Amino acid sequence: MAWLRKEWHPGLLCAEAFKYVRLWFGIFAAALLIIIGFTHGDHAATQLVGNTYAAPVASSNLDPIAPTGKNSTKPAKKLWVCPMHPEVIQDQPGSCPICGMDLVEMEQPGIPQPAHGHGVRIDTATQQRLGVRLAAAKWQTLSQDIHAYGNVAVDESLVFNLSAKVEGVVRKLHVSSVGQQVREGQVLYEIYSPELLKSQEEYIDLLREKDILVAPMEAEDAHTNGKGMPEDDMMDIRTNAGKRVLVRDRLLYADVGNELIDELTKTYRSKNVVEIRAPQSGFVTKIEVHEGSTVKPMDNLFSFANLSRVWVDVPLYPDQLVWVKEGDEAIVRLPLSNAPEIKARLQLIPPVVDSATRTVQARLSVNNAKNPLPIGAFLDVVIHANPHKALAIPRSAVMRTGKGDLVMLSNGGYFTPVKVETGIETTDSIEITAGLRAGDQVAVNGQFLLDAAASMSDAAQRLHNHDAGDH
């Protein structure tokens, strides 16, 4: 049996050795596949991340020469995709069979990218899904908007006082409160005045004298006998007419109005109590007389303000004064009101600084014919100062960062963050003094998302270049 063990023992050793060889060969093959897969996957990850493609880093200022000959690649086939359903892809334009939207052309990964070291390409379909909107930088007239408040004040040149013209006693007031609106010719008060009564009697006497003087001219024989009126009678008529004009002007000066003159001409009867009328329209700002008061000439009775035009006082601080000048356009609006905006211009900037507020009271002259602005009201005022031509983009396109202002510049779907220098700002636009040219397309919304995608793409590209250098 010993010889049997000597012959069989070497066979067992060979079988065991063969089993270990197969095990090590399988381990080696699996490791090789893992290494190949990791290398290929790392390379693909640096080229494609979702729908974004990494931009190559420019190594020089020379443009690369496109390959020609046998090694040149054919242009990629154009494909169209649905913006809402990216799984719908066709080789020709048309409509989406699911939602009916027009298909858009897909961006090809092989398209050369601009020589930027930090950017990202977003295909058209993805832009539409993200809602990215673009706007072009263009030249327009901008002005430095100065926001302030204003206070409506009476225009002093349109304020007038009504004083008594004759001595008498006020019997009745027709104006009872400050702020009451008065129309031209409206009765203000009634007065008993011996002076006015005497003037009425004098005017009536002149009317009767006039009737006597012109009576011969109205007789029938005056037209038939062919004789004219004697020269002395003509002189008396002219004298009478001159006296009547003087008395009438005296009555009108007392603000009785033409109504009293017409009544005297018709009735030839005087009135003991005479109505005094408003010489012009306005709002009552002061009442200094009461019923039963005795007045005499030059006593101030009422004050009125014509509000067809008002002042808007606008306090400006010294740092704002360097921008504004007389003639600048301004917009005035009532806060929390649906009233339309009112356009005005700065008409007065006095060289006087208020010692308490350290401001200068600039003034706007505002047309207030329809009386939308009450006296004393506070207003929102926006002054458009220093208007000039400027390259501008929407304000929402600018990203404020700790390293400066940035915009996402679009070049055929390739977005690159570009540093810009800004100037004055308005409600909707902002001036670009450096960094852009007219016609450049910038993203109006979604800039931070695009900038983050560009940063990730740039980091992936640097990692890929680093790994390629190690190999």
Domain containing residue 224: CATH number: 2.40.50.100
- Tell me if 194 is assigned to some domain: yes
Give the pLDDT means over successive 10-residue stretches in the chain (471 positions): 43 49 56 46 37 35 38 61 73 86 67 50 72 84 84 90 94 91 92 94 93 78 58 87 93 92 93 93 91 93 90 89 84 82 86 87 87 85 83 85 82 81 82 87 74 55 52 51
Number of domains in the chain: 4
Same domain assignment for residues 323 and 441: yes
Strands (E) across 368-439 are located at 378-394, 399-401, 404-411, 414-425, 429-434
43 and 180 in a single domain? The answer is no
Q: Which residues contact residue 68 at a Cβ distance below 8 angstroms, ignoring those fewer than 6 apart?
A: none
Q: Which of 250, 284, 305 is the endpoint of a domain?
A: 305
Q: Are residues 270 and 386 in the same domain?
A: no
Same-domain pairing of 267 and 283: yes
Stretch (H or E) spanning 142: strand 138-154
Alpha-carbon dihedral sign for residues 107, 108, 112, 115: positive
Specify if 101 maps to a domain: yes
Q: Letter for the amino acid at 464?
A: H
- 325, 361: one domain: yes
Does the residue 69 lie in any domain?
Answer: no
Residue 112 in any domain: the answer is: yes
Structure confidence at residue 150 (pLDDT): 92
Q: Which residues contact 145 (CB under 8 A, 6 or more apart)?
A: 382, 383, 384, 385, 424, 425, 426, 427
Examine the domain organization and report whether 263 and 198 are in the same domain.
Answer: yes
Beta strands in 250-325 (DSSP E): 273-277, 282-287, 294-295, 300-305, 309-316
Tell me, yes or no, whether 68 lies in a domain.
no
Task: Examine residue 450 and state whether it is found in any structural domain, yes or no.
Answer: no
Question: Under a CB-based contact definition with an 8 Å cutoff, are residues 152 and 309 in contact?
Answer: no
Helix (H) or strand (E) holding 365, with range, is strand 360-367
Q: Is 468 exposed, middle or buried (0-12, 13-18, 19+ CB in 10 A)?
A: exposed
Tell me, what's the pLDDT at 252?
93
Does residue 237 sit in the same domain as residue 285? yes
Q: What is the pLDDT of residue 465?
A: 53
Q: What is the pLDDT of residue 277?
A: 94
Entry pTM:
0.52
**CATH number of the domain to which 360 belongs:** 2.40.30.170
Taking every pair of Cα atoms in the chain, the longest distance, rounded to a whole number of angstroms, is 193
Shared domain check, 429 and 397: yes
Element (H, E) at 260: helix 257-267
Q: Are residues 459 and 407 in the same domain?
A: no
Q: Is residue 285 part of a domain?
A: yes
Token pair in block for residue 450: 């695009």
Residues 111 and 174 in one domain: no
User: Considering the domain boundaries, does residue 431 fall inside one?
Assistant: yes
Q: Identify whether residues 270 and 301 lie together within a single domain.
A: yes
- Which residues, including other chains, have CB under 8 Å from residue 66's CB and lie 6 or more apart? 72
Is the same domain home to 288 and 328? Answer: no
Q: CA 310 to CA 156: how far, in whole Å?
A: 9
Query: The domain containing residue 28 runs over which residues?
Result: 2-49
Domain-ending residue, one of 249, 272, 305? 305
Residue in 54, 41, 42 with CA at minimum distance from that of residue 458: 54
3-state secondary structure of 214: helix
Helix (H, G, I), strand (E, B) or coil at 24: helix
Last residue of a domain, one of 253, 276, 305: 305
